[in-house]
A and B are shown apart, each in its own frame.
Chain A
Amino acid sequence: MSGDTPLLAVRDLRTHFHTFSGVVRAVNGVSFDVGKGEVMGLVGESGGGKSVVGFSILGLIDSPGKIEGGQIMLDGEDLVSAGEARMRQIRGREISMVFQDPMTSLNPLHTVGRQMDEVLRLHSDLDASARQKACVAMLESVGISRAAERLGAYPHQFSGGMRQRVVIAIAMLAQPRLIIADEPTTALDVTIQSQILKLMRAQIADKGASMILITHDLAVVSEMADHITVLYCGNVVERGKTRDLIEMPAHPYTRGLIDSIPDPSNRQDRLRQIPGSVPDIRNLPKGCNFRDRCPRAQAVCREVEPELMAQHATLWAACHFPLKPGELA
């Protein structure tokens, strides 16, 4: 990764949920870095733990969930041990979040202007008129015309794409150093999605911020991210530079995910599929979590949980029998 200290360093993060039907180890020993000005893609299927990683970083894990161990270092400061008062300063100011569903992440009872103003009231010393100016400028920079007038509008008066622009504007307002975007375009149509992705990339480059892009969509992440981390059942199974990971993945799960996407330039009658489905996370098997779905699994995979090991190119994968470049699973 980059030579100087990363903006965010997550080490051995473990977030568990203590439910009546057992302990859900949603995040179970996840480590990764996000460099300054870098976009890190966090990929996986539902139940992989990717959203819980995002919520853990922001300290938004409620009972019965608990961060059981590990460190989240933001520029040298550990967020796991930071108190709620300190976290309230950090949220929105240092780290902000863009959620999946723009229909539910804005308050329907307040005007957009008031919801934007709140961020600046909490995180800046500007007076009312300077705050309004900043809000107007930010709305314009995310491509909303007649911004001054739109400040008085309620969320229901905007379309889905426009609401997600407002959410991004709110996230960028206090000029945070890190933005966590959790499936920011999943609810949007493809032509709107490409507008929003372009906008986010421009905003990040412009302000020099970093981003964690959480998504299940490998195509989106491969166009946006510098590095990708792949999660499966709460563990990192592979990480590396985007092009290396997409073009020559070492972990059979990553390979399977990529092969499951229909490829228009190489059409086949049958898609290569990953057999079976994600195991019950309350009751994970011993050894490798992926072994029951893995074509390469052998006896050792039932016994020993693989560690993340350096592979070819920039890749790190947790697999006893990693793939060589170009090898099929």
Chain B
Amino acid sequence: MSAPMLEVRDLQMHFPIGGGVLDRLRFDSKGLRLEKPVVHAVNGVSFSIARRQIMALVGESGCGKSTVAKTIARIYQPTQGAVLIDGEDVAGYGFAQMLPVRAKMQMIFQDPYASLNPRQRVRDIVAEPLLEQTKDAADRRDVPARIEALLAKVGLNAEHAGRYPHQFSGGQRQRIGIARALSVTPGLIIADEPVSALDVSIQAQILNLMMDLRDEFGLSYLFISHDLSVVHHIADWVGVMYLGFMVENAPRDVLFTQPRHPYTRALLSAAPSIKAKRDTQEISLSGEVPSALTLPTGCCFRTRCPFAWGRCASERPKLQDVGEGQTVACHLVDEPQRDTL
């Protein structure tokens, strides 16, 4: 087997936050010092995506899933860790070095109203990444025909090419964004909440389109979403994030039928469903996500976990393999007798 399309090893992304010198000045037993507050957005995340595979990252707002996506796309420079795209570590690359890599990896964004330049025509929007990659004049002559073919692929027609983004509905705009991502024939597409701004009937159209394109072009997707029913539909593999940590990572069917981490279980039981009422919620959470400025000691989830005990405060659980490809970061794996409510 060849190298995975994407491999992420111990990815960390910390954002120092500003504030004036006077705000950050602290005086304590060690004397006067300047505090440097840091948002711990991503704290050591590892996973890999095989070719033609769809990996989903789920979690609530602030869990770092979008930061992971943007760090892999190298919109951010990772604080630490490796990002291997097609076997090539791009974590330390500069802008010029990234350019050829971008032909292998493209991004689809959440908000189709903000991710298209309102002053460009559709044909220019879709052509831009492609022109960036083709500097040879002879190859450039093929670009218009290729744009037309791409628009047809995503369900738009040639007359749409001369229009501006405001003349399209949300679903059509998302199709334009997908055509733009496909223009350089990438192997990996990073889709950050690609359907959450769309109405449910349009959402189904876009999901079907993404699945068709995966089959046709052999794409891999990193699919970021908070919607578990969408993830269950599209993903082969699911990673659950909480406060910048990966707490569980498993093949789709394993994760949805036998979730092990208390947070995954809570997430699954909180998701509303159109099916007849389920009896009682297995785990319902109280409270909210703690601040990423000062992470809890030990397990990141212990402040909301109904099972938490002493060990959870003193020791940070590591992801460990529990069989069938499932890995879980929870001390309950070692002490299953505590798993009672």
Contact = CB atoms under 8 A, between A and B. Distances in A.
A159 B232 CA distance: 29
Contact of A191 (B60, B203, B204): B60
Interface stretch (B5-13, B67-75, B145-153, B264-272): B264-272
27 contacts: A159-B288, A162-B288, A189-B226, A190-B60, A190-B226, A190-B267, A191-B266, A191-B270, A192-B60, A195-B286, A217-B272, A219-B229, A219-B273, A219-B274, A223-B272, A223-B277, A246-B274, A258-B274, A259-B204, A262-B232, A262-B233, A264-B273, A267-B232, A271-B207, A271-B233, A274-B205, A278-B169
A44 B267 CA distance: 26
A263 interface: yes
A220 interface: yes
Interface of B: 60-61, 169, 171-172, 199-205, 207-208, 211, 226, 228-230, 232-234, 256, 266-267, 270-277, 281, 284-286, 288
Given A194-B272, A219-B272, A271-B233, 4 more contacts: A190-B270, A190-B272, A191-B284, A273-B201
A162 B203 CA distance: 30
Given A46-B199, A264-B229, A273 B270 contact: no
A221 to B, nearest CB: 9
A123 interface: no
Interface residues of A, number: 43
Nearest to B197: A46
A233 B211 CA distance: 30
A162 B274 CA distance: 26
Interface string A160-198: 011000000000000000000000000001111111011
Nearest to B288: A159
A136 interface: no
Contacts of A193: 270, 272
Interface in A250-272: 256-265, 267, 269-272
Nearest to B271: A190
Interface centre among A219, A256, A264 (most CB of B within 10 A): A264
Contact of B200 (A189, A261, A267): A261
Contacts of A198: 284
A39 B62 CA distance: 32
Interface of A: 45-46, 159, 161-162, 189-195, 197-198, 216-220, 222-223, 243, 246, 256-265, 267, 269-275, 277-278
Contacts of B272: 190, 193-194, 197, 217, 219-220, 222-223
Given A46-B199, A257-B201, A260-B200, A191 B276 contact: no
B203 A267 contact: no
Contacts of A256: 201
Nearest to A264: B232
Nearest to B273: A219
B257 to A, nearest CB: 10
A223 B281 CA distance: 13
A155 B39 CA distance: 22
Contacts of A189: 60-61, 226
A218 B274 contact: yes
A261 B281 CA distance: 21
Contacts of B60: 189-192
B274 A45 contact: no
Contact of A273 (B208, B273, B276, B281): B208
B41 to A, nearest CB: 17
Contact of A260 (B61, B203, B232, B273): B203
A216 B284 CA distance: 24
B263 to A, nearest CB: 9
Given A191-B266, A194-B272, A217-B272, A277 B202 contact: yes
A274 B204 contact: yes
A277 B169 contact: yes
Interface centre among A45, A195, A258, A273 (most CB of B within 10 A): A273
A271 B285 CA distance: 31
Contact of B288 (A192, A218, A264, A270): A192
B201 A274 contact: yes
Nearest to B256: A264
Closest 8 CB pairs of A and B: A262-B233, A189-B60, A219-B272, A274-B201, A260-B204, A273-B204, A194-B270, A45-B199
Interface centre among B207, B230, B273 (most CB of A within 10 A): B273
